[in-house]
Amino acid sequence: MIDIKLIRENKELVKENIKKKFQDKKLPLVDEVYNLDIKCREAKTKGDELRKEKNEKSALIGSLMRDGKKEEAEKIKAEVSKYGAEIEKLEKEEEELREKIHDDMMVIPNIMDPSVPIGEDDSKNVEIERFGEPVIPSFEIPHHADICARLNGLDKESAGRTSGNGFYYLMGDVARLHSAMLSYARDFMIDKGFTYCIPPFMIRSDVVNGVMSFEEMDAMMYKIEGEDLYLIGTSEHSMIGKFQGQIIKEEDLPITLTSYSPCFRKEVGAHGIEERGLYRVHQFEKQEMVVLCKPEDGMKFYDKMWQYTVEFFRSLNIPVRTLECCSGDLADLKVKSCDVEAFSPRQNKYFEVGSCSILGDAQARRLGIRMKTEKGNEYVTTLNNTVLATPRGLIAFLENNVNEDGSVNIPEVLRHYMGGKEKLVPKN
C-alpha cells in the first residue's frame, strides 16, 4: 500500500506506474481515492471545528449556571445537544470514507523502482547475469522422477491414494538428500549472520492481507474451514507478520532472519499441477531469508540477498542465472524483484528456484511496522528471498550431479549431512 500523500501531491505519477504495469482498469481508483480523501478531510475538519465549538459552549454553561443565568444556560445546552448529533453524523461519514479509501488503496500497486524493465508478462523478463558454465553431458539425463525411482526415493502412487494429485512420498537416500539440502541452507544463512527461525505454519487473515494482494491469496492459500487461519504458502508471510503493530528501535535495525517452513499452495491456474514429477506440487519445504531495515539500506540488502542464493547453488555444482522481473510480472506490493534460475541439462534451459524481492514500506504500512527515530516513527523497508525451495531445488541438484550409471555425486558441502556419503548408488 502506497502513502496517500503520493495521490494527494502527484496522482499522475501513480497513474503512470499503473499504466507501466498494464493494469489500466485500476486507473479510476486513483481519482476516486483523490476525491474521497478530500471529502474525508473536509468531514474531519468540520467535525473538529464543531467539537471545539461544543467544548467552548459546554464550558460556558457551567459559568452561566454559577452566575445564576439558568435560562441562558439551558438555551446553550439545547444548542450543544444539536452539536452532538451533527458531530456523530460527521464521524460516521469520515469512518465510511476512510474504509472506502483503505479498500481502494489496498488494490493500487506499489511504485516500482525506475530500473524495472517494462513488459506485459514474464516473457519480457530480462536476463541479468549467468554464474557457472552449463554442462550437458554426453549421455541422456533421465527425468528427475526416474533418477529418484532408481534410488527407490519417490512414491507418488501411494501419495495419490492418501492425498491426491500434487503430493508425494520421498524415501531413503532421496529423502535424506532433501533434508540435507535444507540443513545446509539453514547453516549457510546462519554463517551469513542471519538468525534462524521456525515460524507458525498458519496465519490469520489480517496478516495475509498485510503481506500480499487478495488475488495472490485467492490463487495460493488454503483456508482452514471454520477458522480465521490460512496455511502459509511461504514463510516470509509469517515472519513479516511477527512484527505486526510493532515499533522497532532504530538501533535494532537491520533485522536479518532465515526461516524454515513447509509451504502449502493451491497452484491454481493454467500451469496446473505436474502429474509425474516434483516441479509443481501442493506442498514443499523452504529455507527463506527476511530482512527489515531502514529505507536507505533496502537496495544494499536486495543485492546481498540474491547473491547469497547464487552462492548457495554454485556451491552445489549448479549453474544459475538471474532474471529481472518486468513490470507486468511484478506483484503489486513489490518495488523490484529478480528470480534465480537453475540450469536444467536435461531440457537445456533454466528454471526458477528462487525469487528475491524488495517491497519498500508496502507491507510495513499495511501491518503497522515502524521504527522509532529522532524525527518520529517511520515505516521500515521489508525484503524477502528464497535460499532453497525444495523439491524444486532437489530437481536442479539431481540433474546437475547425476552420472551415466544413475549414481548421484554428493558435493563436499553436503557430505556432513549425508553421513559422509560421497555418492548415492541406484538400488535397481
Q: What is the pLDDT of residue 57?
A: 73
Q: What is the pLDDT of residue 200?
A: 97
- How far apart CA 289 and CA 196 sit, in angstroms, is 9
Q: What is the pLDDT of residue 272?
A: 57
CA 223 to chain centre: 18
- How far apart CA 384 and CA 255 sit, in angstroms, is 12
Q: What is the pLDDT of residue 270?
A: 47
Taking only the tens place, the pLDDT of each residue in 327-384 is: 999 999 999 999 999 999 999 999 999 999 999 999 999 999 999 998 899 999 999 9
Burial class (CB in 10 A: 0-12, 13-18, 19+), 117: middle
The CB density around residue 69, as the number of other CB atoms within 10 Å, is: 15
Instruction: Find, among 222, 425, 210, 176, the residue nearest to 333 by Cα.
Output: 210
Instruction: Find, among 360, 369, 306, 302, the residue nearest to 332 by Cα.
Output: 360
Q: What is the pLDDT of residue 417?
A: 97
Q: Is the dihedral of CA 409, 415, 418, 422 positive or negative?
A: positive
φ and ψ at residue 208, rounded to 5 degrees = -55, -50
DSSP H helices, 284-325, are 298-314
- How far apart CA 142 and CA 148 sit, in angstroms, is 10
Query: What structural domains does the chain harbor?
Result: 4-105 (1.10.287.40), 122-424 (3.30.930.10)
| Segments of the chain with pLDDT less than 70 | 62, 214, 268-275, 428
Beta-carbon contacts of 268 under 8 Å, excluding residues fewer than 6 positions away, are 219, 220
